[in-house]
Chains A and B, each alone.
Chain A
C-alpha cells in the first residue's frame, strides 16, 4: 500500500544542520519530492530526486535516497530562521496516476 511517514518535529539552532527523515513503502515512484510550507501559505517545491539516484545537492540542500531501505532524507546546511516551516516528503506511485502521496509533515523550528 501507499504510506509515507515522517517524524513530527525537529528543533535546531541557527547555523547548525537539519536532517529531516522520511520513509515510504511504494518503490515504484519515479521521483521523490520535498516541499516546504510556511505558515498560512501553499507548498513550495524545494527539491526532488530521481529514483535511480542516491544523492542530489542543491546549494544548502542535500537529498539522500536509500532505495533498499526506502528511506529519504533532506539535509539543510547552515539552517536559518527563515527555514522554520513544515517540510513534506512526497511520492507519486506509478499506480496512482499523477497523484501525490504526502507524508504527515515535519515541523522544523530554528532557534536563534
Chain B
C-alpha cells in the first residue's frame, strides 16, 4: 500500500493565488520530509527539507518566502506556493524516509498557473 499521500494531484489557478500542497506519511512518523520540484524532462531538484517542529532547511537558490513549508505534525508537511506566477508552474513531489532507509515518494502535484 501507499506509504506517502500527496494532495492535490493537479491544480490550475490564476496568477497571484497561493496554493497549498499536502504531504502525509501514512506508515510511520516522519520527523523529516523532503520537497522536490521537477521540470519537464528533467530530474528532481531538491527544494527544501521539512523538519517537524522547526524551520525548514532550504536549498541554495530557493526562496523561503515564496515556498512556505510547515511541518506541524509527524505525519503532515505542507508546501505553500505564495502569490504563484506562471514560472512557478511545475511538478512538485514530496518524499518521506527514515534514516538509512529508502525514501518513498508521493504521486506528485502538477501545478499550472495561468
Which chain A residues have a beta carbon within 8 Å of chain B's beta carbons?
30-31, 33, 35, 40-45, 48, 88, 97-100, 102-105
Contacts and interface: CB of A to CB of B under 8 A. Distances in A.
Nearest to A6: B43
Contacts of A105: 42-43
Interface of B: 4, 6, 32, 34, 42-44, 46, 49, 93, 95, 97, 99-100, 102-108, 110
Contacts of B102: 31, 33, 45, 48
Given A98-B32, A98-B99, A99-B49, A43 B42 contact: no
Nearest to A8: B41
* Most central of A35, A88, A97, A100 by chain B CB within 10 Å: A100
A11 B107 CA distance: 26
Nearest 10 CB-CB pairs, A to B?
A: A43-B105, A42-B107, A42-B105, A42-B108, A104-B43, A102-B43, A45-B102, A105-B43, A42-B106, A42-B93
> Is chain B's binding surface mostly helix, strand, loop or mixed?
strand
> Is chain A's binding surface mostly helix, strand, loop or mixed?
loop
A82 B95 CA distance: 24
B43 A35 contact: no
* Most central of A41, A48, A88 by chain B CB within 10 Å: A41
A105 B43 CA distance: 6
A3 B101 CA distance: 21
A8 to B, nearest CB: 9
B100 A30 contact: yes
A45 B43 contact: no
B97 A102 contact: no
Contact of B105 (A30, A31, A44): A44
A97 B49 contact: yes
A103 B103 contact: no
A40 B44 contact: no
B6 to A, nearest CB: 7
A43 B99 contact: no
A102 B103 CA distance: 12
